[in-house]
Amino acid sequence: MLHSMTGFGSATIENAKISVTVEIKSLNSKFFDIYCRIPRGYSEREVEIRNILTQELERGKVEFSMTITPRDESAASTAVNRALVKAYFKDLKETSLELGFEPSPTELLRMATMMPNAFNTDNLSEADAEEEWGLIKNAVTLAIAKCKEFRLQEGKNTETKFREYIESIEGLLAQVEEQAPKRIPIVRERIEKAVSEWVQNENFDQNRFEQELIYYVEKFDISEEKVRLKNHLEYFIKELKTASNGKRLNFIAQEIGREVNTIGSKANDSIIQRLVVQMKDELEKIKEQTMNIV
């Protein structure tokens, strides 16, 4: 199954002391980029969180945010950095008054508790710290699972689009196969005209004529390109049934593009040229979508 790089997952887990909320957003990216926003007091866990995200999400631009809120009075009294929160509150109030409006104390307190180092975890025992990390890890794992589920659903939608685009190219190829034999009378007339001019020339070279004839036959023959294009289209559909990735699908799309371009350059027919343009249009849609597959 295909997995899109576009995803979202959130989870909230709590115990008697704290509530942990984790949100994960992911978008398409050529590489794996992680942006973490976590409370400063838990920065020592950032490396572990990054490792979990890297292992589970593989590719994409990932935005990770975590909020931790004390739930009971005893936990809050030991967790809140009172002196620093008071300083934040005072500074925010003075700033508001300087800007000419009376701030809401509740809003000021909320903002103050969201500032860096507003909560202190230094007083936690080792057992409490491990229990807290277990809670955080569970929240991260659950949010990742929801994000992956979102990615899977987006991947299914993209797979449906892929099949539509490939089916469209196959239909256009069938029209090319139908039109290809109709070029022969025009090509034959062109060759016969050239031959008549050469035969009337006293310097006519039979060997050179045969070489030119072979050249024209090879130049306008698109049989091999049609066969290879069919094979590439079938291979693309086959890869959709496996746990394929965006890079592999993009590579197959490039191979499809080569055959389509060659058919266009060798066709020497306006109708086939128009069909080739439509094939390229469908192929660009495929390439664009492969950029969003993990």
Residues 178 and 282 in one domain: yes
Residues 189 and 236 in one domain: yes
What's residue 168's pLDDT? 98
User: Residue 77 above 60 pLDDT?
Assistant: no
User: Residue 78 above 70 pLDDT?
Assistant: no
pTM score: 0.75
What's residue 39's pLDDT? 84
Mean pLDDT of the chain: 88
Q: Which one is predicted more confidently, 201 or 225? A: 225
What's residue 43's pLDDT? 84
Residues 169 and 284 in one domain: yes
189 pLDDT band (50/70/90 cuts)? confident
User: Residue 209 above 80 pLDDT?
Assistant: no
Q: Is 260 exposed, middle or buried (0-12, 13-18, 19+ CB in 10 A)?
A: buried
Residues 179 and 99 in one domain: no
pLDDT in tens, 123-162: 667 788 888 999 999 999 999 999 999 999 999 999 999 9
pLDDT in tens, 12-63: 999 988 899 999 999 999 889 999 999 877 888 999 999 999 999 999 999 9
Half-sphere exposure of 254 (CA within 13 A, CB side): 7
What's residue 73's pLDDT? 57
Q: Which domain holds residue 221?
A: 154-290
User: Residue 207 above 90 pLDDT?
Assistant: no
User: Residue 69 above 90 pLDDT?
Assistant: no
The count of structural domains within the chain is 2
Residues 213 and 261 in one domain: yes
- Does 271 map to a domain? yes
List 24's β-bridge partners, or say none: 9, 64
- Does 196 map to a domain? yes
What is the Cα–Cα distance from 58 to 29, expressed in whole angstroms? Answer: 11
User: Residue 218 above 90 pLDDT?
Assistant: no
User: Residue 110 above 70 pLDDT?
Assistant: yes
Altogether, the residues listed in the chain come to a count of 294
What's residue 152's pLDDT? 95
DSSP characters over 117-178? T-B--TT--HHHHHHHHHHHHHHHHHHHHHHHHHHHHHHHHHHHHHHHHHHHHHHHHHHHHH
